[in-house]
Structure 1
Amino acid sequence: MSQLSKKQTLIDRIRSGQADTIDFDGADLLRANLAGANLAGLNLARVHLVLADLSGADLNGTDLSRADLIGANLSNAALRGARLRDANLEAASLSGANLEGADLSRSNLRGVDFAQSNLRGADLSYADLSGANLSGADLSGAVLRDSTLTEVQLESATLSDADLSRAALGGAVLAESTQVQGADFYRSDIDPELGQRLFERGALGLDRYRPEPVLVASAAPAPAASASEPDNGVFASRIVEEDE
């Protein structure tokens, strides 16, 4: 059976609801159309899914660790509690996806589109998110410790209570619409001006950017009149009295 025939057989079995009977070890599903497929809870570790269409697929609890998902379409996919540790998702689309509690630690997430996705409580520690789009994403309570977030877009994103300690944020775009209350930026690599603004908006771990107190100089008191130099007004009145 040719490689193409094997791939189509796999896809047909998945589509017919037999995914849980398939051994996916080493499977090559390059450009496979699996949109809306039910792959929940399966072991897809190390599976080749480059440019695959998994939009709207059910991948809740699925093991995708070390999977190759470069350029894959996972928009609006369900990935709650999925394991994507050490996976390669460079340039993939995860817009609108539900990744609550997912493990994406140490993954390659360069240039990934996470717009409007749910990443609440997700583990992205040590992941490389350089150039990723996280606009409107919910990262409440997410772990981004030691991650690379250079040039990421975070407009309207929610980072409340997220752990960004020791993260690299050079060139990251955090607008006024970015929610940072309670987010921990301890020892993060961040522009000082941005660090000061985030501190003022309730972010933690940024005491080094606390604004310097402004000292207002008080007016100097007028010098007291010397005892040997009487007030001119009093002295003048005495002269007038003596002339009279």
Structure 2
Amino acid sequence: MPSLSISPNSLLVIVSAAGTGMDSDIKKAISPKNILEHIINFFTFGGVTRENKKNYLHILELMTNALAQKKNQIGMDTSLHLNDINGCQVSFTPSETDHNYITIEVKKGDYSERYNINSNKFIKVCQALEMRNELGIPQDPIILTECGKINLRGVDLSFKDLSHKNLRNVDFTGSYLYRTNLFGADLTKSLFSDATLTHCIFSCSTLKGAVFSGADASHSFFSGADLINADLSNGNFSYATFSEADLSGTDASFANLFRADFRNADFTKVNLTCANLKKATVEPDFLTDVSEHPGAQIDNLIYANTLPAQLSSMLSPVLPSSCEQPPSAS
């Protein structure tokens, strides 16, 4: 098979896709039309495509190594320099004319090409690469989802200690987080749709706008968590603990909340339409107007102040307002 070289302009397309991390950009980058604009030969089509994918993953590896040397110092002024990519040097530097952009320069000898990418997207990609590296998850060519969230779909993080981590805007759809410790983590606007979250610790974490639709979070702990405007619809939260959690504006319609513990939880403007609350532990003023929640199953509710002292102590304890780290869930 003849040897094929990638020009700086073609490589620039690949690196630009790496910088944005979007699925649509990657598909465009590995297209023979865009990578090798003037070499269209059906005999080498498959080889060229495979080579481009190899280059793309190589760039991700170089970016990850370069970021590791930065030691979490990623920001608007971040510069990265990658060498030996098909004989080209690649640099990511802040734009000299607009701080909202990062300039990519691909240079080979005296010839170079430049292209600007959004700096916020670049930073998010850097964070995604660092996150996967730190968690020991293999790098995935799809770095960001089409919604711009960090792609951790379908990964297995069971038994991991992710307490106090910054995991904002992460897509955990379909992932496995069995007995994962997310105590005090920032999970604002993260997605957990259809994820396995049984026996997971979310206590004192920030989950504003997080989505748990269809997730299995049975036996999990949300004590003291901030769940304002979260989506728990169609999720399984049976036997879960929500003591002292803020559930203001949460959508819990059609959720399974069987035997869940809601002592001292804030239920302001919660949607409990058709939710299963059978045998849940609640405060005496819970559901002052049941008519606002049509279809809610509230059979055999257990009111906190009527619990025998011995039974109350057997339930999962309410965390103190200081939200100190609880014992390991393992």
TM-score range for the pair, normalised by the shorter chain length = 0.5 to 0.7
Unaligned runs of 5+ in 1: 18-29, 189-244
Shift of 1:77: 1.0
Residue 268 (structure 2) aligns with: 150
The DSSP-based 3-state class of the residue aligned with 1:147 is: coil
Structure with more strand by fraction: 2
| Cα distance, 1:147–1:10 mapped onto 2, change above 3 Å | closer
- 2:169 counterpart of 1:51: yes
Shift of 1:35: 0.8
Residue 299 (structure 2) aligns with: 181
Alignment of structure 1 residues 28-67 onto 2, 5 Å: 31-67=149-185
Residue 77 (structure 1) aligns with: 195
- 2:214 counterpart of 1:96: yes
| Cα distance, 1:77–1:44 mapped onto 2, change above 3 Å | same
Residue 225 (structure 1) aligns with: none
Count of matched residue positions in the alignment of Structure 1 and Structure 2? 176
The one-letter amino acid of 2:201's match is R
**Larger deviation: 165-174 or 7-16?**
165-174
Alignment of structure 1 residues 106-185 onto 2, 5 Å: 106-166=224-284, 169=287, 174-185=292-303
Shift of 1:11: 1.6
The one-letter amino acid of 2:267's match is L
Residue 137 (structure 2) aligns with: 15
Q: C-alpha offsets along residues 79-120 of structure 1, whole Å, 9 cap, x if unaligned?
A: 100001100000111111111000000000010000000000
Q: C-alpha offsets along residues 44-72 of structure 1, whole Å, 9 cap, x if unaligned?
A: 00010111111111011000000000011
Aligned-residue Cα RMSD (Å) equals 2.4
Q: Using structure 2 for the length normalisation, give the TM-score.
A: 0.49
| Cα distance, 1:168–1:48 mapped onto 2, change above 3 Å | farther
Shift of 1:148: 0.4
Take 2:235 and 2:295, find their aligned partners in 1: how far apart are those partners? 16
Structure with more helix by fraction: 2
The DSSP-based 3-state class of the residue aligned with 1:15 is: coil
Identity of aligned residues (%): 26
Q: Which has the larger radius of gyration?
A: 1
Residue 198 (structure 1) aligns with: none
Shift of 1:165: 1.8
| Cα distance, 1:139–1:60 mapped onto 2, change above 3 Å | same
